[in-house]
Amino acid sequence: MNKPIMAKATAVWLVDNTTLTFKQIADFCGLHELEVQGIADGDVATGVKGFDPITNNQLEPIEIERGEKDPLYKLKLKFNAAAVGEEKRRGPRYTPLSKRQDRPAAILWLVKFHPELTDAQISKLVGTTKPTIQSIRERTHWNISNIQPVDPVALGLTKQTELDAAVQKAAAKKAKEGEVMTDDERRKLVSTEQSLGMEAEPKIPTAISGLETFSLTEGEKPEEEESTEVLDADSFFNLPDSSDEDEEDDK
């Protein structure tokens, strides 16, 4: 545990009841120095009641005395055996109720566009369980026909930095195992910034027009097409006179 519980309320109490510098309070509470200054000016944490760290067994009084005498002194949080390992929680992250319905779409997106990610990595990113991931991979989920892949970052289920870190970890693992990666997989295994900076890959032309010139030898010119007689519209309608045909029949 590297900062006190109710850090902002603790900072409010220290600002009101001590002469510690803004930096000392910010370092102890895990806040920014300007945020502590905003608390002192009344612009931040308005209406927040101060939380006494001494009576709540988080700070020794002698630490405040040392800090007030030496502006460079850093306050030390009182050791609490019950709080050891509290921040390192195991299992998937908590997902708000309002966003839990979006998790299948995020899982499908990760499975489709980042198949190199393991079930454990996906579970950690979007806060789901491995059976759910497996059912979406195997397309046995009860609502699979209605699920559309959506970027979990756009849904707010994870951060872009966390996704990039997971992809980079998967890339390192795949490279260590010596597996051959395709161009598409290599593009997926880089971060978003690197992917946007990569040059576009050459594509095979879809049309075949103009490809016939590739068979010509160097210096050879394509044969010119034979000139054809230009026909005008009148030539199509210049039919023989019917009287002329009758004269030929009489003969």
The pLDDT tens digits for 65-96 are: 999 999 999 998 887 655 555 455 555 566 66
Domain boundary among 52, 83, 114: 83
Query: Is 206 part of any domain?
Result: no
pLDDT at residue number 193: 53
- What distance in Å separates the CA atoms of residue 134 and residue 7, rounded to the nearest whole number? 40
Residues 31 and 68 in one domain: yes
On whether both 98 and 166 belong to a single domain, the answer is: yes
Helix boundaries (H) for 84-232 = 103-113, 119-126, 130-137, 152-155, 160-177, 183-188, 192-197
Based on the domain organization, do 192 and 123 belong to the same domain?
Answer: yes
Please indicate, yes or no, if residue 237 is contained in any of the structural domains: no
**More confident position, 228 or 79:** 79
Do the domain assignments include residue 193?
A: yes
Q: Are 9 and 37 in contact (CB under 8 A)?
A: no
Task: Examine the domain organization and report whether 34 and 73 are in the same domain.
Answer: yes
Domain annotation covers residue 137 = yes
Helix (H) or strand (E) holding 172: helix 160-177
Instruction: Tell me what pLDDT residue 13 has.
Output: 93
Give the domain extent around 116: 91-198
147 belongs to a structural domain: yes
Q: Are residues 35 and 107 in the same domain?
A: no
Amino acid symbol at 171: A
The first and second tokens of residue 157, run together, are 């289920």
Asked if pLDDT for residue 233 goes beyond 90, the answer is no
Which pLDDT score is estimated for 3? 78
What is the overall mean pLDDT for the chain? 76
What are 206's two structure tokens?
């879809």
User: How far apart are alpha carbons 122 and 115 in whole angstroms?
Assistant: 10
Domain membership flag for residue 135: yes
Does a structural domain hold residue 215? no
For tokens 């490809």, the residue is: 211
3-state secondary structure of 79: coil
| Structural domains counted in the chain | 2
Q: Which of 33, 52, 83 is the last residue of a domain?
A: 83
163 and 145 within one domain: yes
CB 194 within 8 A of CB 132: no
Indicate if 109 and 190 belong to the same structural domain.
yes
SS3 13: helix
Flag whether 25 is in a domain: yes
> Helix (H, G, I), strand (E, B), or coil: what is residue 52?
coil
Residue 212 has pLDDT above 60, yes or no: no
Q: Of the residues 63, 83, 103, which one is the last residue of a structural domain? A: 83
Q: What is the pLDDT of residues 184-209, one digit of tens each?
A: 555 555 555 555 555 555 554 544 44
- Do 192 and 121 lie in one domain? The reply is yes
Burial of residue 127, with CB atoms counted within 10 A of its CB: 0-12 exposed, 13-18 middle, 19 or more buried: buried
Residue 148 corresponds to which tokens in the numbers above? 């559309």
Report the residue count for the chain: 251
